[in-house]
Structure 1
Amino acid sequence: MPQMSPMNWLFLMVLFTLLLIMTISLIYFNYMPPTKKNLKKIINSPYYSWKW
């Protein structure tokens, strides 16, 4: 098996992380749609804090 370069590993990790984040947010919004009542909860949650 050929050895992978660090750049390839980095690319795969970033791709995997993005996929994971997208999946989590899809599931999250399916179970808890962003309404006015829980919009503050979403914004204040640690998971979404990096976006604001």
Structure 2
Amino acid sequence: MPQMAPLNWLALAIVFSLVFLIFNIMNYFSFSYGTKDVKTTKKEIVTSWKW
């Protein structure tokens, strides 16, 4: 089993951290909500008193 120098482990951890960070940033900023056209119709409440 080959052995790696500690500097290589540090570089590998930094590369994986950067890839993880870039992946999360791209997912966060590329997500878009579906725009719903909400029409605010005012419903008039009619009270007809029958007494």
**TM exceeding 0.5:** yes
Unaligned regions of 5+ residues in structure 2, if any?
A: 33-51
- 2: distance between equivalents of 1:18 and 1:12? 10
**How well do the aligned residues superpose, as a CA RMSD in angstroms?**
1.0
| Structure with a larger share of its residues in helix | 1
* Displacement after TM superposition at 1:31 (Å): 1.1
Higher relative contact order (CA 8 A, sep 6+): 1
- 1: distance between equivalents of 2:3 and 2:31? 42
TM-score, scaled to structure 1: 0.58
Which structure has the larger Rg? 2
Task: Give percent identity, aligned residues only.
Answer: 41
Determine whether 1:10 maps to 2:7: no
Q: What is the number of residues matched between the two proteins?
A: 32
Unaligned regions of 5+ residues in structure 1, if any?
A: 33-52
